[in-house]
Amino acid sequence: MDKLIIEGGRPLKGEVEIAGSKNAVLPVLAATLLTDKPCTIRRVPKLRDSMTMIKLLRSLGKKIEMTGNDVVVESKGPLSHVAEYKLVSTMRGSFCVLGPLLAKLGKAQVSLPGGCVIGVRPVDLHLKGLHALGAQISMENGYVITKARTLRGTSVYLGGVFGSSVLATANVLMAATLAKGQTVIESAACEPEIENLCHFLQAMGAKIDGVGSHRLVINGVRQLHGAEIHVIPDRIEAGTYILLAAATHSDIRIKGANYAHLWALVDKLKQAGVDVIQQGNVIKVKNPRTIKPVGVTTYPYPGFPTDLQAQFMALMAVTPGISIITERVYPDRFIHVAELNRMGADIQREGPNAIVQGKRPLFGAPVMASDLRASAGLVIAGLAAKGRTEIHRMYHLERGYENLDNKLLALGARIHREKE
């Protein structure tokens, strides 16, 4: 296990290229279970999570070849319907094999998922949607067991307490592509990652209307064929580098991101006085002389992403003044508050709110990464702080940021790995 050492307190400069989206590639890979024909997926990020999904697909009977960032998925024989605990328990995104396995095989046995510890994230909406399609569902020894002789189209509402569920939408959507008749998903997640999945399914022969909206209409087909898809750029990685640039008062060019996927973040940064400018295929963050504190509330897309909450909090921690950050997607997603306070931040939590009394500078300290995005927030704080920061459990970062330490080195950061 490695830890990340950062010598902070210096501005960065240069260009960084954004990888394919982690949150988009996982359901796209799972969708290959719906067909026996070869599928090509381009711009697959080399991350722990994408490699875990590839291992899971192989364990289910798929043949996979990876060349650079291109992945070809083929069938090599009958599929298994059992997604085992040892893989699914490490990553919540792997639970999205449930829908395609059920649709393709008429049965699926998938372990309850694991992943980051960011609060309660039930799978009730997944099961509600699949049950509406006609699946019989039971729980046994930590596994979800589903059976259905025939899935039949229906109307289902997938809104939850904290908004639409991306993975539940993906699971029900994929199952519905092979169901008999028409399925209508109301309150579907409309994140760009779901849109990317829809485009892949359409390329495979699925009939889907309403792509990009909260109402998806799927007319089932008998079978799907092979297809090719480019994974969209990772908007969370792009947002992390934008916030990193602002926190360190740096001039950074971000290549390959989709500016339209970042409006909620860009709007908040404009309020704070940070210029984020689109120049063709490049997003430029100009060194802000002063930054004003602004509050933010997380919501499902197109609202401010919960996956950028910790990184935004790190920026506000080094911005003089008071800001309030409210978490409406995962109200318990504040484990990073204690670690930022270890570095000299002044953050108080009150229910779903974090009250940030920003100040400069923070000071380096040993901190513990608790989850993927909290880890990114600690990296930003470490780069902005004076002195040496040690981030333990670096493997969290490797789940969602491709080649992070080398990208930061190229920007001029003083950063390296050490063994724990």
- Domain of 151 in residue numbering reads as 22-230
Instruction: Indicate if 190 belongs to the active site.
Output: no
Asked whether the beta carbons of 53 and 29 are under 8 A apart, the reply is yes
Give the model's pLDDT for residue 1: 80
For position 120, what pLDDT does the model report?
43
- Which residue, 230, 252, 286, sits at the end of a domain? 230
Residue 215 and residue 268 in one domain: no
Angle, to 10 degrees, between the axis of helix 263-272 and the axis of helix 235-247? 10
Residues 296 and 195 in one domain: no
Residue range 46-64: mean pLDDT, rounded? 96
Are 241 and 364 in the same domain?
yes
- Find tokens 């699925």 and name the residue: 206
More confident residue, 116 or 101: 101
- Provide the pLDDT for residue 161: 84
Considering the domain architecture, whether residues 109 and 215 belong to the same structural domain is answered as yes
pTM of the entire predicted model: 0.96
> What is the mean predicted confidence (pLDDT) over 181-198?
98
Domain count, the chain: 2
Domain boundary among 203, 230, 257: 230
124 or 20, greater pLDDT: 20
Which pLDDT band holds residue 76 (cuts at 50, 70, 90)?
confident
- Out of 39, 96, 116, 190, the active site residue is 116
Residues 215 and 325 in one domain: no
User: Does residue 118 carry a pLDDT above 60?
Assistant: no
Q: What is the pLDDT of residue 115?
A: 46
Give the residue-averaged pLDDT of 306-325: 98
Q: Of 211, 230, 249, which residue sits at a domain end?
A: 230
What six digits make up the tokens of 258? 């989709």
Residues 263 and 408 in one domain: yes
Q: What is the reported pLDDT for 387?
A: 97
- Beta carbons of 269 and 238 less than 8 angstroms apart: no
pLDDT at 104: 98
Phi-psi region of 156 (alpha: psi -120 to 50; beta: other; left: phi over 0): beta
The answer, yes or no, to whether residue 132 has pLDDT greater than 80, is yes
pLDDT at 330: 87
Same domain, 210 and 118: yes
- Quick one: 260 and 342 in the same domain? yes
- Same domain for 254 and 149: no
Q: What percent of the chain has pLDDT over 70?
A: 98
Same domain, 226 and 245: no
CATH classification of the domain holding 81 = 3.65.10.10
pLDDT tens, 363-410?
999 999 888 999 999 999 999 999 999 999 988 899 999 999 999 999
Using a pLDDT cut of 90, give the percent of the chain over it.
87
pLDDT band at 163 (very low <50, low <70, confident <90, very high): confident
Check whether residue 261 and residue 379 sit in a common domain. yes
Look at residue 114 and tell me whether its pLDDT is greater than 80. no
pLDDT of residue 89: 83
* Site of tokens 């990888």: 19
The rounded mean pLDDT for the chain is: 95
211 and 246 part of one domain: no
